Amino acid sequence: MSTQDRPLTLFAYWRTSATYRVRVALALKGLKADEKIVDIDAGEHRSPEFLRINPLGAIPAMIDGEGDPLTQSLAILEYIEETHPEPPLLPADARGRARARAIAAMAAVDTHPLITPRVRRYLTGAGFDAAAWKAWQTHWFTTGLQAIEARLSAETATGAFCHGDQVTIADICLASIPAVMQVFDVKVADTPTVDRIVAALNEMPEFANADPYRQVGAPTR
């Protein structure tokens, strides 16, 4: 476990995939953050108070001690890894790190940006009804998870988790997709390797406790 010598503040909301990733990484490092809830359903990310923290109105944002707010979940994960190296969330070798980061990107770059609230707002304005939006969500969650499945099932570097038997940022980003799929009631079939790994991750308290429905502000299921 890493030693925490400064207070951490995480601006968060119960159901966002990007906030989930940071919650898991902090937990795996044994770090505790004071969470400030930003209710994006109520528009609080556009409030003057939050725009002073992040002028772009995006969560998560994290403040470490005296510094400026950190933004973007992938950048925050790398920052947490660099400032609190134990236990490592990246493999020890450069090729392994590249593979873990690539799988992380398949979830956090190829998949997640397509199903965010701002995309929903645009498509609703362009005439998408609820069924069309659900079809869009389902298409991109399916495309993303089946692509990850194709890699994980084919590559010998896959182990108990995405990369061998050590939890990496690949696992954190992968698990962040089904974590929000449940919120939107979307299911993806034919991803047995993904399902096995996500089930194993969710046995760990660091992942289980980051479940959106266990967060402050979440509705009762």
137-176 mask for a copy of itself (x: CB under 8 A)?
--x---x---x--xx--xx---------------------
Q: Looking at 33-41, 135-143, 194-202, 212-220, which segment touches a copy of itself (CB under 8 A)?
A: 135-143
Instruction: Give the C-alpha separation, 54 to 69, whole Å.
Output: 7
Of 1, 75, 199, 208, which lies in the binding site for a copy of itself, with binding defined by CB under 8 A? 75
Asked if 101 interacts with a copy of itself (CB under 8 A), we say yes
Cβ-based nearer residue to a copy of itself, 4 or 202: 4
Give, for 34, the enclosing helix (H) or strand (E): strand 33-37
Q: Least separation, in Å, of the C-beta of 157 and a copy of itself?
A: 8
Q: Of 6, 32, 46, 118, which lies in the binding site for a copy of itself, with binding defined by CB under 8 A?
A: 118
Stretch of 26-34, 41-49, 67-75, 180-188 lying at the interface with a copy of itself (CB under 8 A): 67-75
In the chain, which ranges are continuous DSSP H helix? 17-28, 48-53, 73-83, 94-108, 117-125, 130-154, 169-184, 192-202, 205-208
Distance between CA atoms of 166 and 92, rounded to whole angstroms? Answer: 11
The CA–CA distances, whole Å, from 14 to 62, 114, 118, 154, 212 equal 15, 19, 17, 34, 5
Residue pair 123/136 in contact (Cβ under 8 Å)? The answer is yes
Q: How many CA atoms lie within 13 A of 39 on its CB side?
A: 6
Identified binder of a copy of itself from the candidate list 1, 42, 98, 208, rule CB under 8 A: 98
Residue with tokens 């954190």: 172
Amino acid identity for residue 143 in this structure: T
Is 124 among the residues that bind a copy of itself (CB under 8 A)?
A: no
Q: Select from 2, 4, 44, 97 the one that contacts a copy of itself (CB under 8 A).
A: 97
The residues binding a copy of itself (CB under 8 A) are 55-56, 67-68, 70-72, 74-76, 78-79, 82-83, 94-95, 97-99, 101-102, 104-106, 108-110, 113-114, 118-119, 122, 126-128, 132, 136, 139, 143, 147, 150-151, 154-155
